[in-house]
Amino acid sequence: NEICLTYMLGNSLNFFVSLQILDHFVASGLSIFNCNWYDIYDFTPDENTDAVHISLLKTTDSIDNHILTPQKALEHEVENSKLENGDDDSMSLLQPLMSIPLSFSTDNSVVPFTIGNKLSNSTLSQSTNQIIEKQFNKSALITIFPHESAIQSAKIICDYLRKTNSCTIVQTSCSQFSEHEIEQIFKCNSKVFKSGKLCDSF
């Protein structure tokens, strides 16, 4: 068993153009809007203290500071490698990855970038909490009802919100509701809506 006290967690931003990752989501029956990266369970809690074994990356922190792209990793190996035979296993492993365009930018992320519901966690600094609380003074639920362009519409809305400085996406979801649930949530007659999956952004 392994206990790690230094996990740093954040929303998935990896983007592999050549691997057509969006097609992999579709083929697997998964939705890009159901990324619950923030749903973290501490398997080794301290029963007598409030200590936690995880921490979150700050919203202003760049992933590049923690994970190297293949290009940067290879450059790092070239600069620091001092092998006598001039052959580096790490470099040979990295070479095939050079042709894969990898990006950590939110502009390229297939999965919508969300800050998650854990950002009010005590692991964050007080200044960060103040920023989040200020952003959460007003909140809204955006729902897209099923139609042939629902997924594309949801992606466009998420992209617009991401580029709007005054808006922050907490989480997204693609869910199937019964007629009764629709009537309870939206206080309307479910018969007016076509059945199918709803895309939500909060």
Per-residue pLDDT for the chain (202 aa), expressed as one digit of tens each? 334 444 444 555 555 554 577 778 888 888 889 888 877 777 777 777 777 777 777 767 778 788 877 777 777 777 776 544 445 566 676 677 677 777 777 887 888 888 887 554 434 444 444 445 445 567 888 888 888 888 889 999 999 998 888 888 888 988 888 888 878 877 776 665 655 555 565 5
pTM attached to this predicted model: 0.64
Sequence-ordered strand ranges (E) for 21-75: 54-56
Integer Cα distance of 52 and 73 in angstroms: 31
Q: How many CB atoms lie within 10 A of CB 154?
A: 23
| CA distances for 91 relative to 78, 80, 94, angstroms | 8, 11, 5
Q: How many CB atoms lie within 10 A of CB 123?
A: 13
SS3 103: strand
